Amino acid sequence: MASGPETDLPGTHLLSLPGEDDAEGILINWIHFGESDIECQARYGRTLTHKMGHYLSLLHTWGSGNCELNDYCNDTPAVDVTVFGRNSFEGCSGEFVMISNYMNYSDDEIMNIFTNNQVDRMHYVLNNHMGRNSLMSSPALEQ
Ligand SMILES: [Zn+2]
């Protein structure tokens, strides 16, 4: 699981926001960290990529499951159901769902994209959220 940042971005209410005394961060089962030879759909380390997306304000591509109020990213085709697996299908407007987006529950093997609008949301958080913005000056980036 990942705690989302409280910001003024639309859709923030759909994130898992921490309570007043709760820790913030990402909690991930070691089985889904990095590549493994375990037989499952999440064996290439994309779970952490997905959780990092939530940590930086991204919603699932299906948002709240509503075609009108989706993930607040205009460049991800709107979809109103949870996206699993590896087979695309038609979303709300008849476009094919972006099955390869990290913010789905697609199989790790086919996930490979954040869209420009998603990147913009993450940059907004990194530049404006007290707490997340310190990541940009972390000594860990100097390695
Ligand atoms: Zn998620």
Q: How far is the CA of 13 from the centre of ligand 1 (A)?
A: 14
pTM of the model: 0.92
Q: How far is the CA of 58 from the centre of ligand 1 (A)?
A: 9
Work out the percent of the chain whose per-residue pLDDT is above 90.
70
The answer to whether the CB of 74 falls within 8 A of the CB of 121 is no
Q: Which pLDDT value is given to residue 38?
A: 83
Q: How far is the CA of 139 from the centre of ligand 1 (A)?
A: 28
Q: How far is the CA of 92 from the centre of ligand 1 (A)?
A: 20
Report which secondary-structure segment, H or E, holds 84: strand 84-85
Of 19-28, 54-63, 114-123, 125-134, minimum mean pLDDT range: 19-28
- Residue 124: how many other CB atoms lie within 10 Å: 17
Mean per-residue pLDDT of the chain: 92
Q: How far is the CA of 68 from the centre of ligand 1 (A)?
A: 20
pLDDT, one tens digit per residue, over 44-84 is 889 999 999 999 999 999 999 999 988 999 999 999 999 99
Sign of CA dihedral 117, 22, 47, 95: negative
More confident residue, 2 or 114: 114
Work out the percent of the chain whose per-residue pLDDT is above 70.
100
